[in-house]
């Protein structure tokens, strides 16, 4: 089998060219060609001789994901479905935002998810494994090739739990961050987790620079498990201890993501619990309306969202209200498994 060079970091590419008896600078040429220029074959490199190209072709390749479906939403959001073979599919979403110059790509980290949160469509899919770094990185390369545009932000908020695939996710994030590739600032790369404590501890210990978001979704320690199974494994008390360790050690605010579900987590008492929690942690809150009818629940109305927001005001922390784009193509968060 040929060695796939996509997904390799500079060090690994250096070892590879060394094994071919080629000089070190060849590794840098490959690194730039693969990640900065998005080449998917050696033929595309104008700086490699024909002889070297055939040598490379004999033993190596630059693999790409196979595009299965491409849907374009009325609001400009685009969803791509990629096939990984063996009946495994993942999805990535292109999210341009009209008012700012922000162009976000939402990428998957796993095929399905083992956690089955009660509000999330991905959780209803059969879990079919972790993505390799190249499969993560190539989502961005492929989406940029298809749209003909470069992204300004990347979020690990597609299918899967990134912190159940820590090594490959962090490797991919560093490839996006590298000054000679996408050169995306670490704050433009967001990793979202439902609360896998051992991986959060590792993230802190390694002082990873990337933007970090925690899907809190319910501030009540005796209730959170009802919508998030992971709370049974890593209970809220322990999770919040880890969050405080995060804010103190890294001296950074934590972003709590909060999915708003009427009759579940938007009442006065729950809001009061959230206010109390937010006052005790250096945080900001990112409110996300449930984006579709799901599991017997409905999305909140604008009025309910405004009411909930005003209940949270006393917390005195920044509160953002995320719109869910791409609804008509099931491109919005949590809908990636539903048919577009």
- Alpha helices (H) in 20-105, listed in sequence order: 25-31, 50-59
Query: Stretches 120-128, 179-187, 262-270, 317-325: which one binds ligand SF4 (CB under 6 A)?
Result: 120-128
Q: Site residues for ligand SF4, window 83-102 (CB under 6 A)?
A: none
Active site residues: 91, 333
Backbone φ/ψ region at 76: left (φ over 0), alpha (ψ -120 to 50), beta: left
Query: Stretches 78-86, 116-124, 272-280, 282-290: which one binds ligand SF4 (CB under 6 A)?
Result: 116-124
The answer for residues whose C-beta is within 8 angstroms of residue 197's C-beta and 6 or more apart is 234, 238, 239, 242
Least Cα distance to 77 among 339, 309, 324 occurs for 324
The yes or no reply on residue 116 touching ligand SF4 (CB under 6 A) is: yes
Quote the least distance from Cβ 108 to ligand SF4, whole Å. 9
The yes or no reply on residue 115 touching ligand SF4 (CB under 6 A) is: yes
Query: Stretches 55-63, 112-120, 183-191, 304-312: which one binds ligand SF4 (CB under 6 A)?
Result: 112-120
The yes or no reply on residue 259 touching ligand SAH (CB under 6 A) is: yes
CB 76 within 8 A of CB 98: yes
Which two three-digit tokens encode residue 109?
């980290």
Distance, in Å, from the CA atom of 187 to the CA atom of 152, rounded to the nearest integer, reads 11
Least Cα distance to 117 among 250, 325, 299, 295 occurs for 295
Distance, in Å, from the CA atom of 189 to the CA atom of 105, rounded to the nearest integer, reads 10
Least Cα distance to 257 among 319, 317, 215, 311 occurs for 215
- For every residue of 146-203, which 3-state class applies, written as one string? HHCCCCCEEEECCCCCHHHCHHHHHHHHHHHHCCCCCCCCHHHEEEEECCCHHHHHHH
CA distances from 242 to 211, 221, 251, 279 (A): 16, 15, 13, 16
Residue 135 interacts with which of ligand SAH, ligand SF4, none, CB < 5 to 8 Å by class: none
Which two three-digit tokens encode residue 99?
């008012």
The yes or no reply on residue 5 touching ligand SF4 (CB under 6 A) is: no
Query: Stretches 69-77, 81-89, 109-117, 289-297: which one binds ligand SF4 (CB under 6 A)?
Result: 109-117
Residue 290 interacts with which of ligand SF4, ligand SAH, none, CB < 5 to 8 Å by class: ligand SAH
Of residues 216 and 277, the one with the C-beta less far from ligand SF4: 216
Centroid of chain to Cα 213:
10
Of residues 27 and 287, the one with the C-beta less far from ligand SAH: 287
Distance, in Å, from the CA atom of 340 to the CA atom of 335, rounded to the nearest integer, reads 9
Of residues 153 and 193, the one with the C-beta less far from ligand SF4: 193
Of residues 112 and 325, the one with the C-beta less far from ligand SF4: 112
Q: Site residues for ligand SAH, window 191-220 (CB under 6 A)?
A: 192-194, 215, 217
Query: Stretches 58-66, 110-118, 128-136, 275-283: which one binds ligand SF4 (CB under 6 A)?
Result: 110-118
The yes or no reply on residue 264 touching ligand SF4 (CB under 6 A) is: no
Quote the least distance from Cβ 260 to ligand SF4, whole Å. 14
The yes or no reply on residue 333 touching ligand SAH (CB under 6 A) is: yes
List interacting residues with ligand SAH (CB under 6 A). 119-120, 157, 161, 192-194, 215, 217, 257, 259, 288, 290-291, 294, 324, 333-334
Question: Given the rule CB under 6 A, which residues bind ligand SF4?
Answer: 113, 115-117, 120, 122-123, 160-161, 194
């Amino acid at each position: 089998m040929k060695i796939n060079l996509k997904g390799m970091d500079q060090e690994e590419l250096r070892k590879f060219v060394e094994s071919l008896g080629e000089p070190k600078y060849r590794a840098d040429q490959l690194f730039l060609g693969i990640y900065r220029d998005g080449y998917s074959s050696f033929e595309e490199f104008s700086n490699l001789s024909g002889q070297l190209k055939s040598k490379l072709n004999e033993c190596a390749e630059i693999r790409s994901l196979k595009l299965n479906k491409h849907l374009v939403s009325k609001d400009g959001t685009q969803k791509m479905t990629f096939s990984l073979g063996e009946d495994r599919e993942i999805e990535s979403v292109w999210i341009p935002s009209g008012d700012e110059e922000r162009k976000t790509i939402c990428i998957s980290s796993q095929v399905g998810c083992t956690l089955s949160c009660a509000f999330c469509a991905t959780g209803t899919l059969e879990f079919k494994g972790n993505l390799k770094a190249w499969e993560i990185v190539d989502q961005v390369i492929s989406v940029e090739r298809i749209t003909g545009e470069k992204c300004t932000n990347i979020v690990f908020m597609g299918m899967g739990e990134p912190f159940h695939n820590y090594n490959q996710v962090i490797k991919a994030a560093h490839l996006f961050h590298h000054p000679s590739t996408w050169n995306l600032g670490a704050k433009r790369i967001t990793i979202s987790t439902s609360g896998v404590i051992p991986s959060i501890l590792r993230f802190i210990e390694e002082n990873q620079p990337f933007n970090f978001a925690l899907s809190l979704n319910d501030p009540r320690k005796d209730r959170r498990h009802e919508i998030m199974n992971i709370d049974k494994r890593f209970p809220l008390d322990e999770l919040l201890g880890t969050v405080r360790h995060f804010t103190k050690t890294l001296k950074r605010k934590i972003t709590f993501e909060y999915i708003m579900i009427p009759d579940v987590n938007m009442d006065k008492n729950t809001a009061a619990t959230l206010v109390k929690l937010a006052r005790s942690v250096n945080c900001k809150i990112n409110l996300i309306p449930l984006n579709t009818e799901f599991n017997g629940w409905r999305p909140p109305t604008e009025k309910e969202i405004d009411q909930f927001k005003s209940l949270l005001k006393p917390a005195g922390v920044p509160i953002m209200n995320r719109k869910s784009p791409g609804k008509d193509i099931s491109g919005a968060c949590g809908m990636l498994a539903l048919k577009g």
